[in-house]
Amino acid sequence: MPAQESLKTDLLTLDPKEFYMKHIVKSHNWYFSNYLQIPADELVDRMDFFKEIVSSNLDINFHSLQIVGSAKTGYSLSPKKVLHPFHDEIPGTPASDIDIAIVSQKLYEKYWNLLRHVKGIQYKRYYNNLTASIFRGYINDKDLAEIKGISREWDDLVRPINVELQDQLGFVHPITYRVYRSWDDLEDYQLGGIAKARKALEECKDV
């Protein structure tokens, strides 16, 4: 069965927790095996090297990160573009992102404390996005990038990671980060997204 059809079948039939364990938590990674075409006997070493680069630069535990999203499965689980394939840049459409989930209470609290002391946030949309995400236990890098006084610090933190991933592992797509307070918060976010993706698929079947 083609990968997309197999993923669709699992999305429609598996419990969200079962889908999460099978396709997000387990070690298979579409970007490494299919896009970068790393040989099977080198995959574990290259994945470990990826974790080493990110964890050492962020000063977090080696196991405190996870690639999620379409780079992980090969297909989007966003309700608005469910099962759309991971893709390079095409006219009118930017390339897919490589989404990296960082699980670190220390890093989460650091940026939460910085955000608490921001005197003003220029656009209400960013304020609403941040408060909604913090309530659920995560912080998006795209929101941090819009906050004066924090964006440069965040950029200085992740820029060396992005350069190493490009130079050492051949990553060629935009890299985004989301910092989670705990693994439970990451799981809750993923389960919610999986449930929404399933609902979108079911509604498409009914049309």
What digits encode the pLDDT tens for the residues 132-180? 899 999 999 988 888 877 889 999 999 999 999 999 999 999 999 999 9
- Across the strands, what pairs with 178? 101, 140
Using one digit for the tens of pLDDT, what is the confidence trace for 37-95?
Answer: 999 999 999 999 999 999 999 999 999 999 999 999 999 999 989 999 999 988 888 99
Q: How far is CA 94 from CA 12, 52, 67, 87, 91, in A?
A: 28, 28, 19, 9, 8
- Chain segment 99-129, per-residue pLDDT in tens: 999 999 999 999 998 888 776 655 556 667 7
pLDDT classification of 207: cutoffs 50, 70, 90: very low
Neighbours of 135 (CB within 10 A): 8
To the nearest 10°, the Cα dihedral for 11, 174, 177, 127?
A: -100
